[in-house]
Structure 1
Amino acid sequence: MGAPVGALTAAELEGFELGFSLNGTSVRHSLGASWDTRFEDVDPVREFSWRKGGLGFAGWYYSVTARDHVGYESWLERDRLILLDRDPQVAAIISQPFWLHWDTDDGKHRHAPDYFVRLADGRVRIVDVRAEDDMDDRTREAFAATERACARVGWEFEWAGRPDPVFMANIRWLARYRRARSGSPAAIADRLLEVFGEPKAMWQGAELVGDRLQVLPVLFHLLWSGALETDLGGVLMETDSLVWAEGARPWAG
């Protein structure tokens, strides 16, 4: 959701336009006339392609949230996409959803935010991804303009930097098991939740359920979904990592 346009003055909405592609047709309207578009249905405004010798690492990631492939233009964007895909508050993710256009005394400007995110409660979050040490004046100005535009229509804006490397390595591993098929059979999942009702080492609990080759994919899927928990920061997951069912967090002393 966003702020109702009727509650905003013309002065608050002027100065920004959105350009996007809907069903193959290019559209460009003022921010006030287009902020409530279902951007879940638009096409990315830029292609995601990899070129030999290029600086970027573009690609496509299959999102279980979107139930479709979502594009990214760097490893950092891919990592943020994985984190968004795991976030239970996120209901939809669209990459490069629109061009934001605005003018300054220096001339005309445009910027394509990295992700449009629809949250489960209807709110909108616009996410731009860039590491702090890769920021320059032009990027800072573009992010600042995007944040101003978002504020005018009640959208959230997030500048996402580089995540903790250990935490991200653990999440990348769990993402291999994000698809629903990794969580079956249900009998194994139910048994794992029962066994880890009391915190146990990962392999110790898995062996109580059955053959590790069958059990571990289900265990990793439950860790991805949050039904099982472990400490994902600080150290990489190991066979003796403590695992517990949601709500059964061990006493930290």
Structure 2
Amino acid sequence: MGAAVAAPVRLSVRRDDGAVVEDLEWQLVPLGLLREARPWRTFRWFKGQQHYSGTYWSATMGDHVIYESRLELGRLLFADFAPEVRHIVAQPFLLKAGIDGKVRKHIPDYLLLTDDGPVVVDVKPRHRLEKPEVAVTLDWTREAVTSRGWRYEVWSEPDPHVLENVRFLAGYRRSWLFDPDLIATLRAADLDEMPLGDAFRLLPQSPRPLVKSAVLHLLWSGHVTTALDRPLSAGHVLRRAA
């Protein structure tokens, strides 16, 4: 049974100018304010810390996005890779609610603005999901988020092959590094059902390393797709994105 959430749920947000706006009613907070939010927590580095923090340059954002663990970085990579994700906000707000007579607070890890609407994401290792205090927090957060008609996601360790392939393709995410004419030529080519190795050899008049990197950029950008549940190889078959 889920926790009993006392209405209204309140929200605090750090605006783009650094000012903090507190105790807004969750149901009434405009999405535009959350879209421009700064991370709620200040970035922390200290000797002996147990988590792995950093910043990742996101192609979706054209800017750096923070993460506080390797698992959060994994979710950030997946968000950056997903063509339906249009905007990413790290630590977007602080939620506060009355839960079973106590005031509870929680900072979700990401807010994703997608073609299908907002998605609030919490990243948690699978082994922590059954801890009672974690389960209660995720339950009431889910109730608050879905009450607004938004999606809520708890994300744990992904398929390791998919993660490594997305991490590899992220090396080809910076579009300005690729020759526009070469990209245009490959986009115009019929890559559907072509093995990846053949695509690398498709333009013999161009240096193969440049063609290979351009094809991998098209995979990153979603122009073509392929199965990512096993290590990428020359035999992987490309499919034109729908």
TM more than 0.5: yes
% same residue = 31
1:153 aligns with 2:152: no
1:223 aligns with 2:216: no
Distance (Å, rounded) in 2 between the aligned partners of 1:59 and 1:216: 29
Give the equivalent residue in structure 2 for 1:51.
46
SS in 1 for 2:201: helix
1:207 aligns with 2:198: no
CA offsets 1:90-131 (integer angstroms, 9 cap, x no match): 11110001110112346221000000111135x211011112
TM-score (norm 2): 0.87
Size of the aligned set, in residue pairs, is 233
Give the equivalent residue in structure 1 for 2:231.
236
- What is the 5 A alignment of 1:54-203? 54-105=49-100, 107-121=102-116, 123-135=117-129, 136-191=131-186, 194=189, 196-200=191-195, 202-203=196-197
Give the equivalent residue in structure 1 for 2:10.
17
- In structure 1, the gaps of 5 or more residues are 1-11, 249-253
Q: Would you identify which runs of 4 or more consecutive aligned residues in structure 1 move more than 4 Å?
A: none
Quick check: 125-134 or 207-216, which moved more?
207-216
The CA deviation at 1:34 is 1.9
CA offsets 1:126-175 (integer angstroms, 9 cap, x no match): 01111211232211111111111112211111111111001110110000
Given that 2:191 and 2:240 are in contact with CA atoms closer than 8 Å, whether structure 1 keeps it comes out as: no
CA offsets 1:27-84 (integer angstroms, 9 cap, x no match): 1212133254531111111123332311111111111111211111111111111111
The CA deviation at 1:13 is 8.3
Q: CA RMSD in A?
A: 2.2
The CA deviation at 1:177 is 0.6
- In structure 2, the gaps of 5 or more residues are none
Amino acid at match of 1:143: L
SS in 2 for 1:162: coil
